[in-house]
Structures are given as C-alpha cells and as structure tokens.
Amino acid sequence: MGYAPHDGGITSWNGSSNGSPPFGGIFDLAGARARLDELDPQLNDPAIWNDPQRAKAVTQEATRLRRVVDGFARIEDDVAGLVELWDMASEADHAELEVEQRRVETALDALYRETLFKGDHADRPAIVTIKPGAGGTESSDWAGMLLRMYQRFGERNGFSVEVLDVVGNDAAPNGVDYAQIIVRGERAFGMLQVEGGVHRLVRVSPFDSQNRRHTSFASVEVMPEIDDAIEVDIDPKDVRVDVYRSSGPGGQSVNTTDSAVRVVYRGGTSDEIVVTCQDGKSQIKNREKAMTVLRSRLWEREEQRRLDEQMKARGDQKAIEWGSQIRSYVLDKQYVKDHRTALMRHDPNDVLDGDIEDLIWAGLEWRAGASGTVEANA
C-alpha cells in the first residue's frame, strides 16, 4: 500500500487517479466512521455503565476505530502536503521529500495492520497448546520444534513466554508429547490466533536408520487468556482439583513436593476438560494458572459453539474446521508454504527459529478477507 513518485510527481495511493485510496473491504474507512456514529451515542448514555462488561467492550471498539479514522485523517493531510511540496520543489529537494514519503507509507502500513485485528480479545495474552499427531517419536520431535519456534517468536518480539506444562518424550530428547505456554505482549492473541490448526512437517527423519522421508503432523491451539475480569460461569461442584508430584523441570524442590495441579471439569462426562500445571514450585500459583486455563477453555468452547451455529445457519461448515492443515514445512526441499495464503518461504531454518512475522501478517490479512466474505454472504 502507499503512493510513489511517478512522471516527476507523486501519484495518488496505489496509482489511483482521483487522489483517494481504494479503501474498501477490510480497510473500510466509511464503515469505521459509520460504526463510530453508532457507538458514540451509546457511550454518551449513562445507562451503559450499569453493565461494566458491555461498557468496556464498546469503549475498546470505539477507541480502536477512532485510532484508525484519526490516523487516516493525519495521513491524508500529510499526503496532500507532500503532493503540494513536490510540485513546487526542485529536483534537489525531491530526495528529502522521498524520505518523508517513506515515513508516511510506513504509517499507512501500520494503520492498515491495525484494521486486521478483529474481536474483543486481540490485546489479551495467548495460550498456545501444542500436541503431536500420530507418529510416535517423529511427531513428538516435531511438536518440540514448534514449541521452540513460538518461544523464539516471543523472544524476537519482546514478548514474555511462560511454560505452563510440558510432557517430554524419552525417545526424542527435544520432543514433547504435550506443551502449553502463555505468550504475553502487545497484541499477543491478536497475532498468534492465526497459528491455530494442523502443521505438517516433511523431512528425512533423524530417527530412521535408513534415512527415509517422513511426514509428521502436530496441532496448535490458540486461545486468549480469560481472567477474572470476564465472567465465566463455573460451578465449584463441577471442578475436582488433584495435586501430585511434578515430573517436569524446575529444580529439586519441584520434583520432591506435591506442587503439580490437575483440574478436572465435569469429569467422566462429555463436557470433561482436564488442565494440568506443574511449571511453578508453588501449588497455589499452579492452581491459579490451571483455573485461568480452564476459564479460557470454557470461553473458547462456548465461542466455538456460537460460531458453529452461525455457520450451520449459513450452510457452510468448512470455514471453521479445526483440523484443517494450514502450513507445510518441507525441509528436504527447503521451503515452507502456508496453504491459506499461498505465501512460500525458502528459509525453513529461519522460520523454525521464530521468524514468522510475515506468515502471521499474511494470515491475518487472509482471515480478515475471509471474514468479510462471510459477512457479505450472510
């Protein structure tokens, strides 16, 4: 997106001849203004504060939309000024104006990315759960590689990454049979939500003495951390808490005390959810973390049921399948391909070292476009 010098001047955005950017679809400025016109009267109504949760949601949405609308207005003013200065400037001054032009383009890109974050929970921490598929040692090793990829992604972006639970695999030193982490940072869930799905690895297996090519799968689930600020109804009678001796890393005291916690929700029923946490040395803190994950799982379950009902009413179930393969990592041919966006990378080692920002942004753009298509067809 942006504008560029052309024929001795500055053309309008993306070559448009009328001087205004083609912002339809997912960058819908008119829609943002119209939505603000709907939200402002609600915020000015004192009755909204009788429902703090609704007031918070409306305030957050209005703030996000106002940031986009006001930011675009500033960019429009900058562009108008640049066009005027370009026409008056000498060629010697054009280089300086091009520097300013690049600054405005960067601001526009940032504003565009702001529009890609949908929903009320984009700013929340992300709970990422990784599970290997069928395939034993090979799949467990692949799950461990994905765990490291997301940990490295967090480090590269200045996020904090907390390990909640890890179950290792003795046959694969770096592999995991289960892993769950919380990633905290600016827009953590907003960015990582598009990583949810099945990830496929193709490589010559280091565990195969005959050096054969193997295909492995692992699932990644991403949900926002739902804390006490959001009401999730949990009947204490439905919850059983078990404590046991931790088997994970953490030092001698972790492994010699009953610090690990297992929370079972509606055990033995079709609604059963089991959450374990054995990362910390404190049983109390492990219990708090496990309950936070349980709240998040329950919120996610209800949200998924709501989406299922909407999609069923529209006659389209494919768009929300959780088991769909989203990305392939083909190491022996040196490429990574995202099957939703068709974006391909030829540096799989860098990708597995956490360099996945472009894959995430492309996924967010794809998701926003797919969401717009569903809404248009509703």
What pLDDT shows up at residue 323?
A: 46
What pLDDT shows up at residue 55?
A: 87
pLDDT at 84 over 60: yes
Query: What does the alpha-carbon distance between residue 300 and residue 364 come to, in Å, rounded to a whole number?
Result: 19
pLDDT at 70 over 70: yes
For the ranges 69-73, 109-113, 252-256, 292-296, which has the lowest average pLDDT? 252-256
What pLDDT shows up at residue 302?
A: 87
Q: Are 287 and 241 in contact (CB under 8 A)?
A: yes
pLDDT at 183 over 80: yes
Query: What does the alpha-carbon distance between residue 193 and residue 363 come to, in Å, rounded to a whole number?
Result: 9
Spatial CA neighbour of 182 closest among 289, 263, 282, 300: 289
Average pLDDT over residues 367-377: 57
Between residues 75 and 118, which one has the greater pLDDT?
75
Average pLDDT over residues 73-95: 82
Between residues 342 and 373, which one has the greater pLDDT?
342
Query: What does the alpha-carbon distance between residue 365 and residue 373 come to, in Å, rounded to a whole number?
Result: 12
What pLDDT shows up at residue 120?
A: 72
What pLDDT shows up at residue 1?
A: 42
Q: Are 11 and 101 in contact (CB under 8 A)?
A: no
Whole-number percent of the chain with pLDDT over 90 = 50
Cα four-point dihedral sign 228, 233, 236, 240: negative
Average pLDDT over residues 268-290: 90
Q: Are 337 and 326 in contact (CB under 8 A)?
A: no
Structure tokens at 102: 């690049």
Structure tokens at 128: 């990422």
pTM surpassing 0.85? no
What pLDDT shows up at residue 256?
A: 55
- Domains by residue range for the chain, with CATH: 5-114 (1.20.58.410), 126-223+318-377 (3.30.70.1660), 236-314 (3.30.160.20)
Q: Beta-strand (E) ranges in the chain?
A: 5-6, 9-10, 126-132, 160-169, 172-184, 197-204, 213-224, 239-244, 260-265, 273-277, 325-330, 335-338, 344-345
Mean pLDDT, the chain, rounded, equals: 82
What pLDDT shows up at residue 228?
A: 66
pLDDT at 104 over 70: yes
- Tens of pLDDT along 354-371? 999 999 999 999 988 865
Tell me how crowded residue 149 is: count the other CB atoms within 10 A of its CB: 21
Pairing label, strands 213-224, 5-6: unpaired
Residues whose CB falls within 8 Å of the CB of residue 119, separated by 6 or more in sequence, listed in order = 190
Which of 44-58, 78-92, 246-260, 342-356 has the highest mean predicted lDDT (pLDDT)? 342-356
pLDDT at 2 over 70: no
List, in sequence order, every residue forming a beta bridge with 166; answer none if it has no partner. Answer: 179
What pLDDT shows up at residue 378?
A: 37
pLDDT at 279 over 70: yes
Average pLDDT over residues 302-330: 65
For the ranges 155-164, 199-208, 305-314, which has the lowest average pLDDT? 305-314
- Tens of pLDDT along 319-353? 323 346 899 999 999 999 999 999 999 999 999 99
Average pLDDT over residues 227-240: 83
